[in-house]
Amino acid sequence: MTVIYSDIPLTRPTTPLLDRLDSPAQLRSLPESELGQVADELRAYLLYSVGQSGGHFGAGLGVVELTVALHYVFNTPSDRLVWDVGHQTYPHKILTGRREELLTIRHQGGLAGFPNRSESEYDPFGVGHSSTSLSAALGMAIGSAINQPADSQPERRCVAVIGDGAMTAGMAFEAINHIAHVDLDMLVVLNDNNMSISKNVGGLATYFSKLWSSKLYNLFRESTKTLLKAFPSTSGIIRKTEELMKALVAPGIVFEELGFTYIGPIDGHNIPLLVHTLENLKQITGPVLLHVATQKGKGFSPAEKDPIGYHALNKIPTPAGKTSTPAASNAPKLLKYQQVFGNWLCDMAVNHPELIAITPAMSEGSGMVEFAERFPQQFHDVAIAEQHAVTLAAGIACEGKKPVVAIYSTFLQRAYDQLIHDVALQNLDVLFAIDRAGLVGEDGATHAGSFDISFMRCIPNMVIMAPADENETRQMLYTGYIHSGPAAVRYPRGTGPGVKIEQTMTALPIGKGRLSRQGQQVAILSFGALLPTALSVGEELDASVADMRFIKPLDTELLDQLVSDHALIVTLEENAIAGGAGAAVSEYFAQRGVVVAVLHLGLPDIFIDHATHDAQIAAAGLDAATISKRIKARLLTT
């Protein structure tokens, strides 16, 4: 019986059994009867540690028992355990020698929020994006099987744990098709935590799951296959009978048709059942899919009631366990850029029935909840299917409608071919609202939007905009909307500087920036949200500062003006320097034969680890002090 908590523990819970476990090998030395206590202590420590550090929350609570069972049955790290996305891997980290370090998770210098190969041998594959686990685990199975005798037992088992949400992505189905084709021994655990396809949890389904995973049943099944080869004329009747029997009690016939042995659904919080089933599945040859039903937020009643709201948790800052009430302030509350986008989307839809908004499973994160409620006929959440989202938008544009694709920068990477081939090549009228452009703080390198300028700038027909504040974001979204052709507005995570937002929407002239500060000798060209930093440095150095606004097309008239009366041109962007906006400036100068000193400031050629956004900016050398220092040093060589 799972212990249910209603509050986050504020002091470290007593976990005598868990404290003895510094590796899965020690877990496997325990009698099975003690695994329930391990799970209870693990959940208590997870609640406490995430309360102390902040981090992903509900998904991990939902797989406590499953994690214990997997590490108990399989010989990790020799057996490969590959998790999809990674939000749910905090219990895995606790059981694999990182218990005390969990208090540092997502903090600078601490544990990553996702599995990371450089962090532990128990993390065989680094993840962060969805639906990669099946392909990675299959690759490991293929790699392990090379040079191994065909009739021998595999040296290691490869297990992939994937959620029902991640299973919606095309990449997962591509992998499933290949897994069935190569027919290697591999286990896929489908962690179904929203009951979308788990209607059959109960006594009958559990009974048949035990039956189907038993040695006796599978011996019968393998014998039947042999018999069918000898008497093929009976194959249709026997196979149809088996399919009809299983279809009565389980939703897995589709997986059986694809070549998997399907087991489930079973209760993912029942440790004895999980261990019994997993032990039996180790004896089955070929690809196997185990369908487990879990509850996101299990064991913490507020998260059970609101799994979306408790997907992640902020650090609890006060001894009372509740955030202190802030002092009254007359200052307006800063809006997040995602709220600016969501408000603009709703305002536009009132008078623009041709607007169709599309998101690949990021409605909440992108600020689209209100729009989805108010304009359901104009809203499409396509699930974790970025490629489909972009080509869907292209098809909608072909019918004279105006699609707006709201997508994180890091996820647009997954739809690059569709962006080029299906949208830009046909010059279709699609607006991309690119969220999380730049560094993203504690989510780290897997979710950073470090490359979108670089990979979009080379695409013909694209218009690319980078707003400096909230009002520019609203006006640029409108500009991109009324522009005929593919356009992108990239804006960062979090809040802006607090600029007043003009409700009246005014289209900006395409390819025109503005001079924000007139100075001398040095001109800082700011592309995007680093403008306040640029202005601060400009004040210190008496430098000119331009809010460039457009990356493509560039404001070449403004560039010509600035290069004529400044000795040093500095470009500033929160994107990779390689191929970025600064590179575009240098390309223009080279094309014109202009010789001028140029300093490119942006993200260096490294992946920047998780930390606060301010710490990441400092690590990239994009804080005001470092920018000023580098400009002064460059002036000495000019």
Exposed, middle or buried by CB within 10 Å (0-12, 13-18, 19+), for 298?
Answer: buried
Nearest to 577 by CA among 622, 632, 522: 622
Catalytically annotated residue among 43, 157, 298, 414 = 414
Strand 521-527 to 379-381 pairing: unpaired
Catalytically annotated residue among 93, 106, 156, 296 = 296
Sequence-ordered strand ranges (E) for 143-227: 158-163, 186-192
Rg (the chain; Cα; Å): 28
Sequence-ordered strand ranges (E) for 61-210: 80-83, 158-163, 186-192
- Mapped to the 3 state alphabet, what secondary structure does 556-619 carry? HHHHHHHHHCEEEEEEEEEEECCCCHHHHHHHHHHHHCCCCEEEEEEECCCCCCCCCHHHHHHH
Amino acid 244 reads L
386 in catalytic set? yes
* CB crowding 92-116: b at 16 or more within 10 Å, else e: bbbbbbbbeebeebbbeebbbbbbb
Exposed, middle or buried by CB within 10 Å (0-12, 13-18, 19+), for 177?
Answer: exposed
Residues in the chain: 638
Helix, strand, coil shares of the chain as percentages rounded to 5?
A: 45, 15, 40
DSSP state of 462: -
CA distance 245 to 216: 17
296 in catalytic set? yes
Give the distance between the most distant pair of CA atoms in the chain. Answer: 90
For 56, the 3-state DSSP assignment is: strand
With a CB cutoff of 8 Å and minimum separation 6, the contacts of 215 are 280, 283
The tokens for 162 are 């994937």
Nearest to 21 by CA among 42, 36, 47: 42
Catalytically annotated residue among 41, 65, 386, 574 = 386
229 in catalytic set? no
Q: Kindly list the catalytic residues.
A: 296, 386, 414
